[in-house]
Amino acid sequence: MLSTLELPDATIIAASVSDPPAFAAVFDRHWAELRRYCVSRAAAVGEDLAAETFRLAFDRRRRYDARYADARPWLYGIATNLLRRHFRDAARRGVPLFTRAFGFEDDALGRVEAQALGPDLAAALKTVAAADRDALLLHAWAELTYTEIAHATGIPVGTVRSRIHRARTQLRAHLEEIHDERA
């Protein structure tokens, strides 16, 4: 009989439908990486978001697409949505209900996200659109492939490719600019 260490995520998640505690194995397998990603992007709050990711994943486990043996793209997709919501809510926090239209642009690198990234990264990524930023960081930091990012974010692989290409181009241009200034 296989131990949970040898079973693919999809099998464990399917088992957790009738045996909920089995889902803990998914946590044990992916917590460290997912927490690191979330904390990298959102500082201390990232740990709460990582924890919330697993709770949401548990609640949604019945909808897990068993064609995907590895749950990482699924988990990172949930985490990405939570991070986006966190950044958006942080930008809107304190705005009273119904008193003004919201002018927040989803693409903007907000204060909270910028603080978490630090000044150098924030400067480099401030011109990169949010969706492109997500794709780039899922690729660079979460080490997801283009296909996995497509699965995580629900967009076509071609779109992922173009988003990462665009983000890298902008990032490269920024780095060259800095290099020129220093030279």
Partner 1 sequence: MNELEWLNEQRPEVKDDEPGRVRARRELREHIRPRPDRRAAWRPRLAFASVAALVVTGVAIAWPTGGPAPAPAPTVLAPEAPAPELDVAPLVLLSERIAQEPEPQGDATLVIRSQQYPDDKAILGHDLYLDDGRYYYGATREELKAAAVNSRYHEPLVKAAIAAPALPPEKARRAMDVAVGGGNAPKVSRSIEDNHVWVGSMDALLAGAGRKDVRAGVMTLLHTIDTVKVTEEGELLKLTATDYQGGYTENLFVDAETGVPQKFEGGVPGKTPDVVVDYDVKRVTAANWADAAGEDAAGQAPAADADPSRERAAPAPPAKAPKP
Residues contributing to the site for partner 1 (CB under 8 A):
14, 17-18, 20-21, 23-24, 27-28, 31-32, 35-36, 39-40, 43, 47, 50-52, 54-56, 58-60, 62-63, 65, 81, 85, 89, 92-98, 102, 116-118, 120-121, 124, 136-137, 139-141, 151, 153-156, 159, 168, 171-172, 175
C-beta of 28 vs 107, nearer to partner 1:
28
Q: Which phi and psi (to 5°) does residue 37 adopt?
A: -65, -50
C-beta of 6 vs 96, nearer to partner 1:
96
Structure tokens that stand for 57 in this block: 């994943």
C-beta of 3 vs 22, nearer to partner 1:
22
Contact yes or no for 18/57 (Cβ under 8 A):
no
> Residue 4: how many CB atoms within 10 A of its CB?
15
C-beta of 3 vs 18, nearer to partner 1:
18
Distance CA 43, CA 21 (A): 29
Contact yes or no for 76/144 (Cβ under 8 A):
yes
